Amino acid sequence: MVANGEQQKQDLNVEEELLQDSDCCGNGCTNCILDHKPRPSKRVLLAGKRNVILSYTKFRLLRRETLESEAESKTGGQVLLLHFGHAPEEPGAGTEDDTVLDIPPGHHVMLRIGSLLRPYSPYWSDFQAKEFRILVKLQAGGPMSRLLAAVQPNDLLEFRGPIGQYAHDASTAKCIYILAQGVAIAPTLPLVRQVLENEEDMSRVWHLVCARDLRHVYFREELLEFAQYWNYRSCLYLPHQQCASAACQEAGHCVPECLHLRRSLRYKETAKVARLDACGLATHLNASIPGQRLLIVAGDSTFQKTMAQMATQSLALDPANVYLL
């Protein structure tokens, strides 16, 4: 154990010494690697093991699934599910049992291909098996998107992390509002899971999911599973939802009384054909429920800024309790 502790201290020192300006992807991430250096977590220290991803490490692509093709996407970008597993440098060297993969909820990892760096937010990871999954929306003309469009099972890619600042404290009950935009719903799933799967956690979660329409709501099955818990509520905001009925075609989107939309929703699913705005946010205030109010926003930087600004007023939030992923 002492040896492992020493090893971890050395690993940490090496990370801190080696971190340079060139380790930043330059995209202006809210949680830049230079401000939030990958460090061993309490969980890893308790396990007495080393987190394999603390420095750039090879992961093998185990599965690649197209969730939305370019032709299906109204916004032009293909959506891929990529599942990676740690690829030991020297298979069978006997040291691999000393390692785990720890990517805490709300943290992201950096992908490096040559000198190109881009952050991605895993929505699932396995501590012991050292595997993780990301959902990627390819951006037209984007250099990393071009490379990821071509990756195939068995390809090796390098990742480093975890990077982030969010840490959940389950000891006091909170009201947690989680706002997600498009594919950025992915990194919010572990945040929801960590509250719901802890029976002693009395926090409540409001999961507000913004997507073009129902077809672009990813992980609907997971959301339905979450809905079975007493402390979870969700609402889908679908401004471009439109069925083929004459009334909805004329309105340019499904009308509030649209039967087609109502029939498309599953048990406990709530949807609004509107953008999430200040009034919409205020309907989730639930002022009579006690507990510290906390906001987590996942989406592009414009969405993050707009929502954080609106929500601090509509949900009576202290700006210190706002986390942008």
Q: How far is the CB of 57 from ligand FAD (least distance, A)?
A: 18
Give a three-class secondary structure readout of the chain: CHHHHHHHHHHHHHHHHHCCHHHCCCCCCCCCCCCCCCCCCHHHHHHCCEECCCCCEEEEEEEEEEEECCCCCCCCCCEEEEEEEECCCCCCCCCHHHEECCCCCCCEEEEEECCEEEEECCCEEECCCCEEEEEEECCCCCHHHHHHHCCCCCCEEEEEEEECCCCCCCCCCEEEEEEEEHHHHCCHHHHHHHHHCCCCCCCEEEEEEECCCHHHCCCHHHHHHHCCCCCEEEEEECCCCCCCCHHHHHHCCCCCCCHHHHHHCCCCCCEECCCCCHHHHHCCCCCCCCCEEEEEEECCHHHHHHHHHHHHHHCCCCHHHEEEC
Give the contacts of 84 (CB within 8 A, at least 6 positions apart): 59, 60, 61, 62, 131, 132, 133, 134, 157, 159
Q: How far is the CB of 211 from ligand FAD (least distance, A)?
A: 13
245: annotated binding-site residue? no
Closest CB to ligand FAD among residues 67, 278:
67
Which of 237, 282, 235, 243 lies closest to 261, judged by CA? 243
Q: How far is the CB of 161 from ligand FAD (least distance, A)?
A: 10
135: annotated binding-site residue? yes
Q: Which residues of this protein are in contact with ligand FAD, per CB under 6 A? A: 27, 29, 108, 118-121, 134-137, 139, 142-145, 183, 186, 300
> In the structure encoding, which two tokens stand for residue 96, read together?
């691999």
Closest CB to ligand FAD among residues 293, 323:
323
Q: How far is the CB of 193 from ligand FAD (least distance, A)?
A: 16
156: annotated binding-site residue? no
Nearest residue to ligand FAD by CB is: 142
118: annotated binding-site residue? yes
174: annotated binding-site residue? no
Closest CB to ligand FAD among residues 47, 120:
120
**Within 13 Å of residue 6, how many CA atoms lie on the same side as its CB?**
3
Closest CB to ligand FAD among residues 88, 142:
142
Closest CB to ligand FAD among residues 45, 81:
81
> In the structure encoding, which two tokens stand for residue 289, read together?
């429920």
Q: How far is the CB of 160 from ligand FAD (least distance, A)?
A: 13
Q: How far is the CB of 17 from ligand FAD (least distance, A)?
A: 24
110: annotated binding-site residue? no
Closest CB to ligand FAD among residues 189, 261:
189
Q: How far is the CB of 314 from ligand FAD (least distance, A)?
A: 24
120: annotated binding-site residue? yes
Closest CB to ligand FAD among residues 50, 108:
108
Numbered residues of the known binding site: 118-120, 135, 137, 144-145
Numbered residues of the known binding site for FAD: 118-120, 135, 137, 144-145
